[in-house]
Amino acid sequence: MFAAMRGVLLSVEDLGVEFPRNGGSVRAASGVSFALGTGETVALVGESGCGKSATALALFRLVPPPGRIVSGRVVFDGTDLLPLPEEAIRRFRGAGLAWVPQEPGAALNPVLSVGSQIVDVIRAHRALSKREAWAEAVDLLGRVGIPDPAQRAREYPHQYSGGMKQRALVAMALSARPKLLVADEPTTAVDPTLKLGILDLLRSLRDERGLSILLITHDMGAVAALADRVLVMYAGRIVEEAPVQALFDDPRHPYTRGLLASVPRVDLERGLLPSIPGSVPDLAQLPPGCAFHPRCPLAQDACRAAVPPLVPDGPGRRVACPVAQAAGVRS
């Protein structure tokens, strides 16, 4: 599907992720297809429970059991990762694709110094001595904005603030020199100043190193600040794709319009913030047709009859809403 695109680092085609539940199964991701270019930042957005993290974990073949990948291809730098034996896929984790998890406090080992944890990652992927790896760990901590990195490298996670832990995880992810950084909700539970610092850090790393970034988030402010392109996900499916400015200026899918309308803005009059009525459906009991139709102000009979395909809708855009396409919906 994406093979003809120039500079594609990651191509995901028809990815499906399934979890058994109550004698049946739940599709956390279904028919997910997208591409990510070298040096590009793509944001995967949506409400909690829409399948963002399951999709990201599938890229690493780290879907927690009893969940499993049931369909698709994940082609990274020319290699399809899904058929590889476990020993082979390990060589891509860290050195090819690196993960910055959502909760830095839970991701760091409390009984090891931060520097030693980075050293372990470096030496797992590169033939360096302990002394060389330690020097690089200190250098990486300095590069991500940790003050006095030589001293801080010897400290333990509990001695770091939340923002410093997040930066330390970015340093750890970079230590194996990956081509793609997957950042899962990197601005969650941090104050506005730290949020800006983390976004500036990711932007500078992308620009300096040509790093590709997949940003998993529900923070539309972070999307506007960092992303080149946006994938909007709902109930396990991508429902819209667009360049970031085009998405904010002219959202096509009713769900995207609802997400953007619910973002707090300083120019709104005092009162209740607009919200999308209803809630995300249980993935084990999806409504027929388009999963968003029970919440959608534009829903028609056709929306209840079949799942709409994700189809081209202008330059660099795709949308899974025939009603929006036919009506020429604009913000």
| CATH number (domain holding residue 49) | 3.40.50.300
- Per-residue confidence at 266, pLDDT binned at 50, 70, 90? low
Higher-confidence residue of 270 and 67: namely 67
Q: What angle do CA 8, 41, 263 make, to 5 degrees?
A: 140
Give the chain's domain count.
2
Q: Are residues 48 and 185 in the same domain?
A: yes
Give the pLDDT of residue 223: 94
Tell me which DSSP letter residue 181 carries. E
Is 101 among the domain residues? no
Q: Are residues 243 and 290 in the same domain?
A: yes
Q: Is 243 exposed, middle or buried (0-12, 13-18, 19+ CB in 10 A)?
A: middle
Give the pLDDT of residue 13: 97
Q: Which ranges of 32-158 would DSSP assign to H, the alpha helix?
A: 52-59, 86-92, 104-107, 114-125, 130-143, 149-152
* Domain boundary residue, one of 129, 159, 177: 177
Q: Is 279 exposed, middle or buried (0-12, 13-18, 19+ CB in 10 A)?
A: exposed
Task: Say which range, 26-30, 160-164, 307-311, has the weakest mean pLDDT.
Answer: 160-164
How does pLDDT run across 274-303, given as a tens digit for each residue? 778 888 888 888 999 999 999 998 899 889
Q: Which domain holds residue 153?
A: 107-177
Is 211 among the domain residues? yes
Give the pLDDT of residue 21: 86
Q: Are residues 124 and 162 in the same domain?
A: yes
How does pLDDT run across 213-256, given as a tens digit for each residue? 999 998 898 999 999 999 999 999 999 999 999 999 999 999 99
Give the pLDDT of residue 319: 96
Q: Are residues 89 and 48 in the same domain?
A: yes
| Pairwise CA distance, residues 329 & 331, whole Å | 7
pLDDT at residue 15 tops 90? yes
pLDDT at residue 329 tops 60? no
Q: Are residues 74 and 197 in the same domain?
A: yes
How does pLDDT run across 73-82, given as a tens digit for each residue? 999 999 999 9
Query: What is the pTM for the complete model shown?
Result: 0.90
Give the pLDDT of residue 3: 37
* Domain boundary residue, one of 116, 143, 177: 177
Tell me which DSSP letter residue 309 carries. P
| Pairwise CA distance, residues 86 & 100, whole Å | 21
- Per-residue confidence at 331, pLDDT binned at 50, 70, 90? very low
Give the pLDDT of residue 4: 38
Mean pLDDT of the chain: 89
Give the pLDDT of residue 196: 84
Q: Are residues 144 and 189 in the same domain?
A: no
